[in-house]
Amino acid sequence: PVPRCQSNRACQSILVTMTDAVKDAVASSIQEGHFEHIATLLDAAELASANPGVLDDWPHALHMLGHIYDGNLSDARMLWKRIPESAKQNNPELEAVWRLLQFCWNRHYQGIWQALQGFQWSAQLKPLIDAIMLKTRQQLMDLMSSAYATVSPAKVASFCGITEDDAVTACTGQGWTFNALTGMFTVAPKPMSKEHLDGYANLRQIADYMVHLEAD
């Protein structure tokens, strides 16, 4: 199931200095689990604002996480550079998002899981954080299905930030078969969808991702 914000009121509480229409649209996107709309809506609102200090009072962490969810890490980095220094001070949650972005940028997967799971996220951001975890985990499972013939539950657990028991469940759900003698799963190759092909470009780039995975 897609994580959702529990109430429209809770979602609204992190939206400031925006028109009511934008607030409603972003809050509805969070509540309904349409996280792919968040960054687009906030980008448009920022560009449309006539206030030169619009980012002084803004849902910075939400905006950055929206870009991370979409895989637009360059846009997230540019947003970080636009955020006033005063807004970055004494803001542990925004700092936690920045750490997450750095791990994502460097494809440091163990760091990504530490950043995602090691911070006490606010109730407003938690649905988006959960969605990022689900999406990242599925992308990594897809990558492993393209790069490995066999893989251990321990390796899957390490890559995906889950326990070995959960890794067994995830592998079984992918249609992978377990060999009790070797303790390894035989990977069922999964054809890459056009979306994944567009995202990873080609097998050479997949190999590059796997280098980062093995480095972790």
- Tens-digit pLDDT profile for the chain (216 aa)? 445 555 555 454 444 446 778 888 999 999 999 999 999 999 999 998 878 888 888 999 999 999 999 999 999 999 999 999 999 999 999 999 999 999 999 989 889 999 999 999 999 899 999 999 999 999 899 888 888 899 999 999 998 999 999 999 999 999 999 999 999 999 988 665 555 555 555 455 555 655 555 655
What is the per-residue pLDDT for 2? 44
What is the per-residue pLDDT for 5? 52
Please return the burial class of 154, using the count of CB atoms within 10 Å of its CB with bins 0-12, 13-18 and 19+: exposed
What is the per-residue pLDDT for 23? 83
Residues contacting residue 96 through CB under 8 Å, at least 6 positions apart: 61, 115, 119, 121
Furthest-apart CA atoms within the chain: distance in Å? 66
What is the per-residue pLDDT for 51? 81
Cross-strand pairs, 185? 151, 178
Nearest Cα residue to 210 out of 198, 200, 196 = 200
What is the per-residue pLDDT for 195? 55
